[in-house]
């Protein structure tokens, strides 16, 4: 092998390693198996369920299992009063800091997600959470979506 070919192989291996190291998250999101992509897909599914249940009779509802990785959380809360709510099971406690509460109120979010180092808000139409029912749900949590007189409420199924 001549020196040019060896240099070319080493250079190619280094470039491929850099692409994999720095671009793995973008590649995962592009193909739809990144954590944040899974959370957004689940939020859209919950929003569809909320819209469907909103068109049902009062007190109608059904269970739903959140299909997201266990290392992530989706939180549901009252957008005008996203005050903290502490539960005996700390994994479902809603504990936003003041900065998040300001963003939530200004943007009208009623859902917040934590996906590793990424987080963000989401507004689900017709979801009207009472402040005393604010909670977070880690991946695999079963929730119950219920049609109430003023909108739809989501509650954790505590087993």
Q: What is the mean pLDDT of the chain?
A: 88
As a whole number of angstroms, the distance between CA 76 and CA 81 comes to 12
Structure tokens at 72: 């992530």
Quick check: 101 pLDDT over 60?
yes
Which residues, listed in sequence order, are joined to residue 111 by a DSSP beta bridge? 76, 122
Q: For residues 104 and 32, which has the higher predicted lDDT (pLDDT)?
A: 104
Lowest model confidence (mean pLDDT) among 17-21, 48-52, 79-83: 17-21
As a whole number of angstroms, the distance between CA 117 and CA 7 comes to 38
Quick check: 26 pLDDT over 90?
no
Query: What pLDDT, on the 0 to 100 scale, is given for residue 10?
Result: 87
For the chain, how big is the Rg over CA atoms in Å? 21
pLDDT confidence tier of residue 97, bands split at 50, 70 and 90: confident
As a whole number of angstroms, the distance between CA 39 and CA 36 comes to 5
Instruction: Look up the pTM and report it.
Output: 0.78
């Amino acid at each position: 092998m001549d020196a040019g070919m060896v240099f070319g192989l080493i250079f190619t291996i280094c470039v491929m390693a850099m692409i994999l190291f720095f671009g793995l998250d973008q590649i995962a999101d592009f193909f739809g198996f990144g954590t944040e992509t899974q959370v957004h897909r689940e939020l859209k599914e919950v929003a569809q369920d909320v819209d469907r249940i909103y068109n049902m009779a009062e007190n109608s509802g059904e269970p739903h299992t959140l299909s997201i990785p266990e290392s992530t959380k989706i939180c549901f809360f009252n957008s005008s009063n996203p005050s903290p709510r502490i539960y005996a099971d700390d994994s479902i406690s809603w504990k936003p800091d003041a900065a998040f509460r300001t963003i939530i109120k200004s943007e009208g979010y009623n859902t917040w997600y934590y996906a590793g180092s990424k987080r963000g808000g989401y507004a689900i139409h017709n979801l009207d959470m009472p402040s005393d029912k604010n909670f977070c749900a880690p991946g695999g949590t079963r929730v119950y979506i219920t049609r109430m007189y003023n909108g739809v409420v989501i509650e954790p199924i505590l087993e």
